Amino acid sequence: MRLGLQVSHFSWPGTAASIGPTFGRIARDAEDAGMWSLWVMDHFFQIGPIGPPELEMLEGYTALAFAAGQTSRIEVGTLVTGVTYRHPGILVKTVTTLDVLSGGRAWLGIGAAWNEDEHRGLGVPYPPVKERFERLEEALQIALQMWSGDESPYAGRHYSLERPLNSPPAIRQPHPPILIGGMGQKKTMRLVAQYADACNFFDVGTDRLRVACDVLRGHCADVGRSYDDISKTVLTRMSLSASGEQAASGEPTSSVSAAVDRLGRLAEAGMDDAILGLGNQTDPAAYELVADVVRQVAGVTSADR
C-alpha cells in the first residue's frame, strides 16, 4: 500500500503571505517522508465539510505546478476536477503541461462536479446531473484521444473539437493516469471500469468499501476490463502523534501502530492505496511518523491482489 497526501485546507496563520512557503514545505516534507502522491481539491471556494466558503482556497493546477517545482519525485493531481470547470481540451492541455514540467508526474483526477454554490458564485454553468455525467464521459474520451496523438475531429453531444492537437505530448506514457472520484454505483463505477486507471472512494467503512469493490468488479466484467488493472484508492483522514493521545486542539490523534492497523483494515477491504487528509499537516514532526507508517505499510497488499 502506498500513502498519498491531500491538502484541502490553506487557512494558516499569516495568510495570504504564508500560504506559498507553508504549502511548499508540506510538499517537500511529504516527498521526504516517502509519500507517493500529493493531491489538492479542485474547488474555488472552501467546501462545507471543512469550513465556510470564505476560507482560503487555491486554484488547483496552479497549486500543483508550484508543488511540482518544489519537489522531484512525488506525483501530483487533483482530487478531483469537476468536469464543468474547464473545457476538456483545455483541461487535457493543462494536465499535459503539468506532466511535462514535472517530468512525468501528473495525474488527471476528474469527476462529475457537485458544488453548485461555487458554480453560481463564479458564473460557471451548472447543468443537471445527467448532463454532467454525459460531459464527464465525453471529457474522458477527449483526454484519451488527445493523449494518443489523434488529431481528428471530435464531435460529441456537448463538446466539438475541430483539431484536438496536444503538443508537446505528455511524458508519462501511454498517458498521465486517470483517476475518477466518486462512489456512484451506476454511472461513476461504469466510467471507472471503462476509462480509468484508478478510482477514489471515501472512507465509508470497510463493509461499504467491500460493496463498492464488488460493484466495480461487476462493471469491469460487463465491459471486458480486468478489475486488477484499476487501482482502488481511499481518502481517509487522521492526525499522527507519537503517543496517539488527544492533541492540544482537542482533535484525536493516531499512533503509528494504530494508523498501520487502520490502513491494514482498508487493504483488507480491497483498497490498494490510501490518500491521507493529515490533520496536523503543517507540523514537520508529523512527517517523521508518516515516514514510519509508509515503511510499515509498504508490504501491505489489498485483499483483492
As averages over each run of 10 residues, the pLDDT of the chain (305 residues) reads: 97 96 98 98 95 97 98 98 98 98 98 97 97 98 98 98 98 98 97 98 97 98 97 96 67 86 97 96 95 95 80
Candidates 6, 42, 58, 55; CA nearest to 114 is 42
> What 3-state DSSP class applies to 87?
coil
Angle between helices 286-297 and 19-32 in degrees, nearest 10: 30
Q: Quote the cell numbers at residue 70.
A: 518544489
* Residue ranges of domains in the chain, CATH in brackets: 2-297 (3.20.20.30)
Across 101-246, the runs of DSSP E, i.e. the strands, are 108-111, 154-155, 160-161, 178-181, 198-202, 231-238
Q: What are the C-alpha distances in Å from 75 to residues 9, 147, 277?
A: 19, 18, 16
Q: Tell me, what's the pLDDT at 242? A: 87
Using CA atoms in the order 255, 258, 259, 263, what is the torsion angle rounded to 10 degrees? 180
Count of CB atoms situated within 10 Å of the CB of 252: 13
The dihedral region occupied by 242, where left means phi > 0, alpha psi between -120 and 50, and beta the remainder, is: alpha
Predicted confidence at residue 141, as pLDDT, reads 98
**φ, ψ of residue 17 in degrees (nearest 5):** -65, -25
Q: Please tell me the total number of residues recorded for the chain in this structure.
A: 305
The predicted pLDDT at position 97 comes to 98
Report the SS3 class of residue 197.
coil
